[in-house]
Chain A
Amino acid sequence: MKKPGDMESLLIASTEELQSLQRRIGSGEDDDPGLRSAIAMCLAAHSALRDSLASTQPGEPTEVILARHRRRWRGRLFQWAVFVPLILIGIVLLGVVIFTLVTSFIWRG
């Protein structure tokens, strides 16, 4: 039998509730083809959306993303372990050279 709240619950019911409503309406004497087709349409929409979301997969596989991240980190690590110390040594050496030149000019003077 169709109940007074069936029309309202059509909009907010879960799929399980919709399916049980569909069964109840289909089997009762008070069959309502309009409500039945509305329920069928809501269920079809739900399953279409579910399939659509399921088919939307991440653009790249997890392994590729992780491999890229690790490569970047190795690059940064290499940068900090090799280039930064080299630059620091270069700056220190440059300082020493400038200091030596300046002091040698001063001593000569």
Chain B
Amino acid sequence: MTSTGSVGTGTSALVDNTARFSIVERLLEQWRDGDSDARDQLLVEVHPILYRWALANAINVDDADDIAQKALITVYRKLHQFRGDSSIAAWMYRITTRIALQRHRKRARRKTLDTYARSELGGRVYTTDPGGRVDRDRLTALVREFYDELPRQQRAAITLVDFDGHSPAEAATLMGLNPVTLRANLFKARASIRRRVLAIDPVLAERFANLPEPTDDEADRKITSGKNEADR
């Protein structure tokens, strides 16, 4: 089976989801018109997206894999129930987050502690690289750790906007949040990661340590101001 089209990587977005979902919508139409292979192709197209959404809602990579698989099967089984009241992306995002939440609740009920091995990379960077210059691999590992430690909603917000290429308005619709809350989560996620990244370099850490935390008012101001990412 071949994918109907590969979607290019943008400068800041991981993939162009708009292009990918236009392919998905076309495949959905083909499937509804009786092309039975179109459903499989559609699932191949959406699987990486479901996986990334699952990553944003999971506690680790294995958890994300399980969530993405369940979401994929649910989409496969319930695709005929999709009426088009909302966008297909929003419908799939809801399926993925519902499965992730069910798993979180189940885990909380069992009271099992998922120990996600944290490797104390930050400490190692300081000891092996006192000058503060961090090579690419270590920076990647560190930033990935910072990302994994973000609260679920912040992780989802930064994934959808900064890496999936959705506008904040689209991301707010997908997540079922109002735009101000989405922006607040996005700013907090960016600030949290960047603050910790800057802390790697002792000179920058000293200079930027006292920058204020982003507030909800700031998100509100950005949304009501003319220069607005939500209008992209």
Contacts and interface: CB of A to CB of B under 8 A. Distances in A.
Contacts of B15: 54
B201 to A, nearest CB: 7
Interface residues of A, number: 34
A58 B65 contact: yes
B156 interface: no
Contacts of A27: none
Nearest to B222: A12
Contacts, number: 120
A57 B51 contact: yes
Nearest to A44: B139
Interface string B51-72: 1100100000110010011001
A104 interface: no
Contact of B140 (A13, A34, A49, A60): A49
Contacts of A49: 140, 143-144, 147, 163, 193
Nearest to A48: B140
Contacts of B14: 50, 53-54
A46 B211 contact: no
A56 to B, nearest CB: 7
A52 B194 contact: no
Contacts of B52: 53
Contact of B143 (A12, A45, A60, A65): A45
Given A44-B139, A53-B159, A14 B12 contact: yes
Contacts of B51: 56-58
Contact of B9 (A54, A57, A65): A54
Interface of B: 1, 9, 11-12, 14-15, 40, 43-44, 47-48, 51-52, 55, 61-62, 65, 68-69, 72-73, 76, 136, 139-140, 143-144, 147, 159, 161-163, 186-187, 190-191, 193-195, 197-198, 200-201, 203-204, 207-208, 211-212, 214, 218, 229
Q: Which 4 A-B pairs have the closest CB atoms?
A: A11-B191, A48-B140, A12-B187, A45-B197
Given A12-B218, A38-B198, A50-B162, 11 more contacts: A8-B212, A11-B211, A12-B191, A15-B11, A34-B207, A41-B197, A50-B12, A50-B163, A52-B144, A59-B65, A65-B73
Interface of A: 7-8, 10-16, 34, 37-38, 41-42, 44-46, 48-54, 56-60, 62-63, 65-66, 69
